Amino acid sequence: MFAARRRAVCAARQLQRTSRTYASEAHGHHSPAPVNESFGKGSVIALGAFLGTVLVYQFRPQESDTWTNVIAKYRSKPEDWEAINSLHTKTMEQAGYDRNLFENGSSKHRFVDVAYPEAFQSHAQRNIQAGHLASMDHVVEHYRQQHLKAEEKKAARLAAAKKEE
């Protein structure tokens, strides 16, 4: 650290020092008298062109395909998002209704009485060699039998309730 610092100091000493000259050191010369300077023709023309463009744009007749309408056409609006979200909600409700129809149409075909059948084997599928997953057929059969017994009890209760009426 110290060696590097010493080398930097030596290198700085070897650099040439330039003397500074300042314009204010000119002795004996007087500055010229102040002169009134105008903005010039170019700046006046530019300012007039800008203001003229603004006025022409402000008082022109409205057209149907202006830049603001083109920009507004591609900008998302809350009404559009509301319509899209309501359509999406209706679609999801209809999909849920259809799925419920297909799954619960016949009580004999539904044989796993859990929230979702994939719950038995819900784990990461990485690094599992072929043939190393346990067979879940006996578990599925057990729940199918439980479901059939529950359906028979429900049918018996309904038949008994109809006889009493």
**Which pLDDT does position 64 carry in this prediction?**
63
Question: Is residue 75 a part of any domain in this protein?
Answer: yes
Question: Is residue 33 a part of any domain in this protein?
Answer: no
**Which pLDDT does position 136 carry in this prediction?**
78
- What is the domain count for the chain? 1
Query: What token pair was written down for 77?
Result: 């609006």
**Which pLDDT does position 121 carry in this prediction?**
62
Q: Which residues contact 132 (CB under 8 A, 6 or more apart)?
A: none
**Which pLDDT does position 53 carry in this prediction?**
93
Tell me which residues of the chain have a pLDDT lower than 50. Answer: none
**Distances in whole angstroms, Cα of residue 146 to Cα of each of 141, 153, 157:** 9, 11, 17
Residues of the domain holding 75:
66-106
**Which pLDDT does position 39 carry in this prediction?**
82
Instruction: For the full predicted model, state whether its pTM sits above 0.75.
Output: no
Question: Is residue 116 a part of any domain in this protein?
Answer: no
Question: Is residue 156 a part of any domain in this protein?
Answer: no
**Which pLDDT does position 46 carry in this prediction?**
95
Q: Which residues contact 114 (CB under 8 A, 6 or more apart)?
A: 120, 143
